[in-house]
Amino acid sequence: MEYDKEDHTWRRRSSATLKQTTCQPMPKRSHTVAVIVLGLAVLSCLLGYCVLSETLPYESKTLRLVIVLFRHGARTPISSYKSDPFKNYQWPDGLGSLTNAGKLQLYELGKKYRNYYANFIPEEYYEKDVYVMSSDKSRCLMNAYTFLAGLFPPSDRQTWHPELPWQPIPVHSLPKDLDDIVAQTKPCKVWKSMYEELLEEANSDPKFAELFDYLSKHTNQSPFLNEIKMNLQDSVSHTNLDRSLYIYSGHDVTVVGLWRTLGYSELLEPEYGASLVLELHEEVEQDTFFVKLFYRNNTKVEVPMELNMPFCDDPCTYNRFIQHIETLIPNNWEEECQN
Amino acid sequence: MYVTSSGDRHGDRTPIDPYPTDPWRNESLWPVRFGQLTNIGKRQHYALGQWFRKRYSNIITNKYDSKKVYVRSTNVDRTLMSAEVNLAGMYPPMGKEVWNDHLNWQPIPIHTRPEHDDEVLAMKRKCAQYDIAKNNFINSRAYEDHLSKYEGLMDYLTQHTLRKIKDFEDINDIYNILFIENLYNLTLPKWTHSVFPDKLKEPACYSFSIATATPVMARLLAGPLLKAIVNNMLNKMSEQPDALTMSIYSGHDFTIANILSALGLFDGNCPSYTSTIIFELLNEDSTPDYYVRISYRNTTDIVEPFILNIPNCGKMCPIQRFIQVFDNLISVDWESDCQVQYNNNLIIYFFIMIHIFIFILYLQDNYCDVIKQEKRNELLRNRRIATDETETCLCPDLEQNVDVNNVEKPQLLL
């Protein structure tokens, strides 16, 4: 990891200077003591930093925009099967609902992001900075709320209830029949017929992989890709200066879909609360923008894994990234779907 | 008591767009950004939620039940947030619902849809028929006469706010800004003293009844929401498995006013923050009689709401009678009712035009034929008398006709 390496070199250099300072003989005893005490203080700070650096805020002067997409937390089964021994078990909130553990997972994830981006995401929630969009499914909406509860506990000024460290934050959504972005449930005729065809051919046909690839790359993900493209563009062209964070609360299919459209062919099995993060960086001196991609497979991961996008060099320039996703966005989704 | 649907307005907010000369137009003078819900607003809605919980503790469980309670909001930050705090007051986590020991709150889903696609709650989806009806109303003599009474006031406002004030909605925008500033104990400029609040209030609040001024407008604008509410009630009566016990709608002042006004219940007062309309379906024990009761509270204080006297039906209105009385609203078939019918008229008009055109051609043809025939006859007659040559008539070539006539006349005299 890039900034880990930096961290490493920086630590070594500083400890060297430190040794130099402590080794210099000082004329007065009190001075020596003072220097030793100071030196010890600095040393302990450094040591503490080294130990804790993994969880300390992410330091970046180039960061401009963060787009987070996560899967909901633990839920009860969506449907039972014929020989299911728990077929008649009354799940506390019915099938497919978010459990308390699931609520907590995303709350913890929200807190992780708060710590990780402490130097980037403002402490106080302000609606022009953040845009939150969720699938209309109850578990996703609920997870968006708990994630935000962890990410934006109210500041003193925002505290409205003395005993409730929580504040309402708007979560936007689209009804199932209109959602082509997060849940991707808006009907698309072409996609549906291809999907049915695929189910028929299933494993027997070697074209399976190819077709699946096409399906996941095309049509169904494209409105979401388009949304990402617009978000990046707004930031690059400075049309939306306030907005620095987009949050999407979706399903495993949303996460896997984005993963595949970004060119990864390995099988991804996102756990509950898995999250993908796109970061937009600006190198002011070079006047260029870069895109970075990070992944957390669950809510326990402390430091996200940086991914190198197969279609792009490292670092991946914004232009190359846009160029790639543009090839996956049809000019007219409705038309391509033949709705 | 079975089903209840309530529409409530969001809580205390800052002005949306202060006028150019407003001394308080600097956003930093306010606790939150313009148009946003303030902490006062959050507390108001929290209290409302607690009141709902108390009032309906006999029909809704303490534990949140997603199959019985449905919450919908317009896709606007302050209404979404109001709904969230409302639910925080209504459903503090109980027993097994506690998911976080440090937080006496639980997430509850609030559904929404884009405003331009929402004819039910936001009432902002495009409806061509509605636009026509509204346009006709705005251009009607009665409306223009009413508006002209306030010309002096509007000129006065335009002059002092430096914003063009040309109708009731514009007056309401100014009234609303002054109202909020007054609420925050901010000193209002001197020019307002002669008009605020008394002179502005009546025309400002009248703006809320324009949107549903005619039966057609009321049907197309408020019909879908009332239809949804009545359907909820009918579902509950017929004990449908998916029947909801409570639906909560989080909207704006105009949502409240449009519903009241469409039902003939609007009293001319602007809806206050957290003003709430409650539709309740009641039934007396072991009888098949169901009644609709509408209550309204137009204050931010948590007091017992007023039971409204439903026109032609009373305070306890039998549901079948309710459906009859408001058939104009409830029977709305929004998608098809909004389609412009003058398309058909155009087609009919087009057909009639074509027919008239063909008829004229036919007449002309006939006329021509008649003339030709006459001429032929005459020519034949002429030939018998004289043997001069004439060309056949190429009707409607007049010159030839004239020629022929000129030639013929003296001969006829003979």
> Do B270 and B372 lie in a common domain?
no
> Do B302 and B364 lie in a common domain?
no
In this complex, do B105 and A164 lie within 8 Å of one another by their Cβ atoms? Answer: yes
Give the model's pLDDT for residue A239.
87
The encoded tokens of residue B329 equal 């609203």
> Do B365 and B228 lie in a common domain?
no
Nearest by CB to A165, from B80, B103, B113: name it. B103
* B100 interface with A at CB cutoff 8 Å: yes
Q: CA–CA separation, B283 vs B233, rounded Å?
A: 11
Evaluated on CA atoms B329, B48, A106, A76, the torsion sign reads negative
Question: Nearest C-alpha of chain A: how many angstroms from B141?
Answer: 42
CATH number for the domain that contains residue B243: 3.40.50.1240
Residue of chain A whose alpha carbon sits nearest to that of B87 = A168
Question: Nearest C-alpha of chain A: how many angstroms from B107?
Answer: 5
Q: CA–CA separation, B375 vs A175, rounded Å?
A: 78
> Do B226 and B102 lie in a common domain?
yes
Q: Which residues of B touch A141 (CB under 8 A)?
A: 107, 109-111
Q: Which residues of B touch A91 (CB under 8 A)?
A: none
Q: CA–CA separation, A117 vs A53, rounded Å?
A: 13
Contacts A–B by Cβ distance under 8 A: 95
Helix and strand numbers, DSSP H then E, in chain B: 14, 7
Instruction: State in Å, rounded, how far the first CA of chain B is from the last one.
Output: 106
* A141 interface with B at CB cutoff 8 Å: yes
What percent of chain B stands above pLDDT 90? 68
Describe the crossing of helices B215-237 and B253-262 by its angle, rounded to 10 degrees.
90
Which of B84, B91, B117, B119 is the best mutation test for A, with the most CBs of A within 10 A?
Answer: B84
The encoded tokens of residue A78 equal 């969506």
B59-79 pLDDT, tens digit each: 999 999 988 999 999 999 999
Lowest-pLDDT choice from A100-104, A165-169, A236-240, B378-382: B378-382
What are the DSSP calls for A69-97, one per residue?
EEE---B--SS--TT-TTTT---TT-TTP
> Do B230 and B112 lie in a common domain?
yes
Residue of chain A whose alpha carbon sits nearest to that of B82 = A168
A31 lies in a domain? Answer: no
β-bridge mates for residue A130, sequence order: A245
The count of residues in chain A is 339
Q: CA–CA separation, A163 vs B47, rounded Å?
A: 14
| Number of domains making up chain A | 1
B190-200 pLDDT, tens digit each: 999 999 999 99
> Do B262 and B300 lie in a common domain?
yes
Question: Nearest C-alpha of chain B: how many angstroms from A175?
Answer: 6
Lowest-pLDDT choice from B13-17, B130-134, B217-221: B13-17
In this complex, do A127 and B77 lie within 8 Å of one another by their Cβ atoms? Answer: yes
pTM of the predicted protein model: 0.79
Task: Calculate mean pLDDT across residues B2-11.
Answer: 71
Q: CA–CA separation, A146 vs B83, rounded Å?
A: 16
Q: CA–CA separation, A49 vs A57, rounded Å?
A: 11
Nearest by CB to A93, from B46, B66, B82: name it. B66
Residue ranges making up the domain that contains B289:
2-127+222-337
Active site residues of B: 10, 253
Nearest by CB to B113, from A92, A141, A174: name it. A174
Which of A98, A143, A146 is the best mutation test for B, with the most CBs of B within 10 A?
Answer: A146
In this complex, do B43 and A161 lie within 8 Å of one another by their Cβ atoms? Answer: yes
The encoded tokens of residue A199 equal 């189910």
A19 lies in a domain? Answer: no
B94 lies in a domain? Answer: yes
Q: CA–CA separation, A142 vs B71, rounded Å?
A: 13
- Decide if pLDDT at A6 tops 60: no
Evaluate whether A276 touches A255 at the Cβ level (below 8 Å): yes
Evaluate whether B11 touches B252 at the Cβ level (below 8 Å): no
> Do B39 and B78 lie in a common domain?
yes
Task: Calculate mean pLDDT across residues A124-148.
Answer: 93
User: pLDDT band for position A90 (50/70/90)?
Assistant: low
User: pLDDT band for position A94 (50/70/90)?
Assistant: low
> Do B329 and B368 lie in a common domain?
no
User: pLDDT band for position B410 (50/70/90)?
Assistant: very low
Give the model's pLDDT for residue B393.
46
B231-286 pLDDT, tens digit each: 999 999 988 888 999 999 999 999 999 999 999 999 999 999 999 999 999 988 77
Q: Is B183 helix (H, G, I), strand (E, B) or coil?
A: helix
In this complex, do B80 and A168 lie within 8 Å of one another by their Cβ atoms? Answer: yes
Interface of B with A in 148-187 (CB under 8 A): none
Give the model's pLDDT for residue A327.
87
CATH number for the domain that contains residue A326: 3.40.50.1240
